Chains A and B, each alone.
Chain A
Amino acid sequence: MTDLQLLTYIVVGATFTLYIGIAIWARAGSTKEFYIAGGGVHPIANGMATAADWMSAASFISMAGLIAFMGYGGSVFLMGWTGGYVLLAMLLAPYLRKYGKFTVPEFIGDRFYSNAARLVAVVCLILASVTYVIGQMKGIGVAFSRFLEVDYEVGLAVGMGIVFFYAVWGGMKGITYTQIAQYCVLIFAYTIPAIFISLNLTGMPIPQIGLGWTMTGSETYLLDKLDLIVQDLGFSQYTTSARLSQTNMFMYTMSLMIGTAGLPHVIIRFFTVPKVSDARISAGWALVFIAILYTTAPSVAAMARLNLINTMEPAAGEYMVYDERPDWVTNWEKTGLLKFEDKDGDGRIRYSADAAVNEVIKVDNDIMVLANPEIAKLPNWVIALVAAGGLAAALSTAAGLLLAISSAISHDVLKGVFKPDITERQELTASRVSMAGAILVAGYLGFNPPDFAAGTVALAFGLAAASMFPALMMGIFSKRMNKEGAIAGMVAGLSVTLLYVFQHKGIMFVADTAFLGDLPANWFFGIEPNAFGAIGAVVNFAVAISVCAMTSPPPDHVQQLVETIRVPGSVQAPSD
């Protein structure tokens, strides 16, 4: 075993021991503790847990790489995945906290006075969360196999074991406190390499500012230099290359924003704080902790792209000599994430946008974050920390999603609809059983990733945007919205989005069944399938409002319920 591997085992082992220690301490003794951690979590602590809950393997490992190759077009992820918190903080979180129960479908069921609405919400929740959790399971397996060089399956099993331990034992209480620890691990792991890389290239230790700084020993700004060299290679300019079109970027950003606000595993985190005002402030803290990573990511992206090009072409026209390639290149070539082919046999590797002469056959997005410490020649403990950070990001999100799924099953389906008379103790047992079941199903899907696994995370946002967000928003902001409208809206939004994705990407992502073909020419106003959630949401609103206008208004007690979640009971006339 090499020094690096040993160190990685030690660091990852230490973090896992910490998570287990927290799990033993945070046992859930009641359903309130299991579902909402007892409801007494400090708003800053909840903000930190929400950040870890939210930032997944995709945010940690893949996002910077995506931006590195998309340039300005990658902004859809940065704005979309943060702007959703503004909507969450002002349109959903405080009112749902005021309502004060355990799950999102429970609110839908009460507000729309119908078990059918509750079950439709459970279906939407499970579709969005299960597709999302598959990505996390894969992330856990991949992180293990890359850094610890164990088999994907072994890695996945170890990860499942850890989640099983603290999620089944501690429920939301265990998950909350492990997420706080996981946030600390992942944010150190992300920012430390970024600081060193920024120092390296610009002499400025704060990566956010370094991105707008001049290159070390020159008067040229980093972004100007990057624009120049990517254009020399034949790529489009880094700072202006849009994602397809302005309309598409608009819709993509909007879909990610409302999808973020409508994801149940994020919403239920705000049920854990003591007061409504805490829910508001806690959303602010959550975004602070998220923004630390999300404003570092564009710097990592641009700097990693620059470093990559410099490695491939150290001086203009002088391409990398293959036999003299740096160690990190050799290491990542072994994983298959980096591939070269010396087409002209001159012993040098040429990187170009022109496919005919390009000899860099494959650069996986994930390399941009994973290989960063090696590219910047950082010590081995930093590399070990990145491994632990990637695992923390995947584990924390997986646990949050699993809780949303299992509480929907034990609280909404079992207790809410089929067996309302079970006792608290029986429900607690049921919630543990359904959590264990959810972990096993997620693990099974991780061992046998379905064909559509690649498209799943984007699909989860589309589904949440088109089904959950409009229903919740109308439930709060319209007293007139009735059960007929809400159910029809959710079903319509969900169907339209699924249909659009399937017709271009294939039914359940089996490419042969894509009856309209995955061709931009066939796209509705040139909107790519991943960006369609916003249109699905518009359909949801339109259908709900039309159906509602033709059917009778909700009963008085429901209108009363809306009043209580909008306005505090103790409100008095202002004294001035």
Chain B
Amino acid sequence: MTPAQQYWRANLRLVAGCLVVWFIVSFGFGIILVEPLNTIRLGGFKLGFWFAQQGSVYVFVALIFFYAWRMHVLDRKFHVDE
């Protein structure tokens, strides 16, 4: 594989991993699994409700910064100079 192909593969793997998390916290915890999760409490919150109204948003923010950081590491590894 050429360095360009390696770089693109690594990018795709990273994006795929992040999107799995994106899907699980919102569609998974917030919608599909909301009822079983609601039996668990987080202080005054039912856990499923919390993911749907707050938790998923916090994870989204963290995910984008994680992605940006991993891409920064990838850029350095491949000596990318913008």
Contacts and interface: CB of A to CB of B under 8 A. Distances in A.
Contacts of A239: 38, 46, 49
B15 A574 contact: no
Interface stretch (A114-122, A124-132, A211-219, A323-331): A211-219
A287 interface: yes
Interface string B41-79: 011111001101110111011011101100110010111
B61 A287 contact: yes
A568 B44 contact: no
A78 B52 contact: yes
Interface stretch (A26-34, A82-90, A187-195): A82-90
Given A281-B68, A575-B79, A253 B43 contact: no
A295 B46 CA distance: 16
Contacts of B34: 72, 240
Given A83-B22, A287-B61, A570-B79, A75 B52 contact: yes
Interface of B is mostly: helix
A283 B42 CA distance: 29
Nearest to A88: B64
Contact of A90 (B6, B19, B57): B19
Contacts of A78: 52-54, 56-57
A321 interface: no
A231 interface: no
Contacts of A99: none
B64 A79 contact: no
Given A79-B30, A567-B8, A571-B79, A280 B68 contact: yes
Contact of B78 (A222, A275, A566, A571): A571
B52 to A, nearest CB: 4
Nearest to B22: A86
B32 A246 contact: yes
A102 to B, nearest CB: 19
Interface residues of A, number: 55
A298 B44 contact: no
A567 B8 CA distance: 6
A61 interface: no
A240 B60 CA distance: 23
B44 A567 contact: no
A208 interface: yes
B64 A287 contact: yes
A82 B55 CA distance: 12
A571 B81 CA distance: 8
A75 B56 CA distance: 10
Contact of A72 (B42, B52, B60): B52
B6 to A, nearest CB: 8
A280 B64 contact: yes
Interface of A is mostly: helix
Nearest to B78: A571
B71 A277 contact: yes
B67 A90 contact: yes
B31 interface: yes
A284 interface: yes
B31 A253 contact: yes
Question: Which residue among B6, B61, B64 has the maximum number of chain A CB atoms within 10 Å of its CB?
Answer: B64
Contacts of A294: 57
A531 to B, nearest CB: 12
Given A72-B52, A213-B43, A568-B75, A253 B27 contact: yes
Question: Which residue among B27, B57, B72 has the maximum number of chain A CB atoms within 10 Å of its CB?
Answer: B57
Contacts of B22: 83, 86-87
Contacts of B75: 277, 568
B80 A571 contact: yes
Contacts of A568: 7, 75, 78, 80, 82
Contacts of B7: 567-568, 571
B79 A79 contact: no
13 contacts: A75-B53, A78-B57, A82-B56, A86-B19, A86-B22, A89-B67, A90-B15, A239-B49, A287-B64, A298-B54, A570-B80, A571-B80, A572-B79
Interface of A: 67, 72, 74-75, 78-79, 82-83, 85-87, 89-91, 94, 208, 211-214, 221-224, 239-240, 246, 249-250, 253-254, 275-277, 280-281, 283-284, 287-288, 291, 294-295, 298, 563, 566-568, 570-576
Interface of B: 3-4, 6-8, 11, 15, 18-19, 22, 26-27, 30-32, 34-35, 38, 42-46, 49-50, 52-54, 56-58, 60-61, 63-65, 67-68, 71-72, 75, 77-82
